[in-house]
Amino acid sequence: MSRLFSAGYANKNTKKVMYKDDLFEIGSASKLFTAMAIFQLIESGKISLNTSLGELYKKGKIRNLANFKGKNYWDDVTVGMLLNHTSGFIDYLNVYHDDSKAIKIFSDKNKVYNYNTIIDLALKFGDADFKPGTQFAYCNTGYIILGNIVTKVSGVPWRDYIQKNIFDKAGVKHTYFGTRLPHKIRKNMPLGYNASQMVKMPMALANSAGEIVSSLNDLSELIRMWEMGAFYKKKETLKVQLSQGYNFMSPYVSNLTYGYGLMKIENFYGHGGQTFGFQSYVTINLKSKKTYIVCINNSQVGSTDLFMSLEDIAYKPSRKK
């Protein structure tokens, strides 16, 4: 049984209250669905975790993303490295290390964001941070490329592919791609804030790394169906996604590791997300099947911390028995 709760304001100026069926930008929790699409293509035999980017992109300036200390490592980067953030590529969204500066730059209405312009943006900031496969560094650029791989390999634009093979299959009706969000729905969404500053960012900025908008109910259904293996034809596909790729321990969140499009905290698997105005956390416990969907319209309020606090509160009574 789902229990939905809401609190606070969707608009701080007008004091419009938040409702349980409101829609939220889920940011990087969108990576769950890009990763699912990739694993569907792996399952079909069209690519593998070890498929080299050199096989998929034989030429073009994109290959310069893998320049490091005078050598190009593009042919060494694999699909698996993009999934678990070990490519070493520059993260185009986090280069400024200053939210106020990034908000000012990225919200420029004269800029157009799509796959090509985002790759150009990443290239603008220089060479890779490290040799691929040797370290972990969270990288939105990798998931931009993964979205393009879905398009390239399936022959279907990545948004259409995910819509048909994940959202439509789940039967969810309140999950959208930000760039396709109808205006009448967009204007009724909660406003996003960075601390006290109201922020409106271009939906195309996060692309396949984080542009999805959804509701608590839809996200609960999607993560539940994923855990059941409903989006894959073979049980082994989910097993591989769950059991491999975890090679990073967060210095900020206790017991958090990262795998193939999944964040893992103890027995909870899912993904957190942040835009410049929202935060989210979508996760399910594989043993208890307990699910948490946390959506916040303030990028400075930690969704992971809230999830862990709620789980601690929920868990304490059972420990006393």
Write out pLDDT tens, residues 110-155.
899 999 999 999 999 999 999 999 999 999 999 999 999 999 999 9
How far is residue 136's CA from residue 44's CA, in Å, rounded to a whole number?
A: 28
Higher pLDDT: 256 or 33? It is 33
Residue % of the chain over a pLDDT of 70: 95
pLDDT digits (tens, 9 = 90+) for 291-305: 999 999 999 999 988
- CA distance linking residue 288 with residue 301, whole number of Å: 27
pTM: 0.95
Residue 41 confidence (pLDDT) above 60: yes
Collapsing DSSP to helix, strand or coil, 9 comes out as strand
Cβ atoms < 10 Å from Cβ of 46:
15
What pLDDT digit, counting tens, does each position of 60-109 carry?
A: 999 999 999 999 999 999 999 999 999 999 999 999 988 899 999 999 88
Q: Please tell me which residue, 191 or 315, carries the higher pLDDT value.
A: 191
Q: Quick check: 218 pLDDT over 60?
A: yes
Question: Would strands 279-285 and 71-72 be described as parallel, antiparallel, or unpaired?
Answer: unpaired
User: Per-domain residue ranges for the chain?
Assistant: 9-320
pLDDT, greater one: 248 or 157:
157
The pLDDT of residue 174 is 98
Q: What fold does the segment set 9-320 form as a domain?
A: Beta-lactamase (3.40.710)
SS3 296: strand
Mean pLDDT for all residues in the chain: 93
> Which is it for strands 67-68 and 71-72: parallel, antiparallel or unpaired?
antiparallel
For residues 208-231, average pLDDT: 98
Per-residue pLDDT at 122: 97
Q: Token match 């439509």: residue?
A: 168
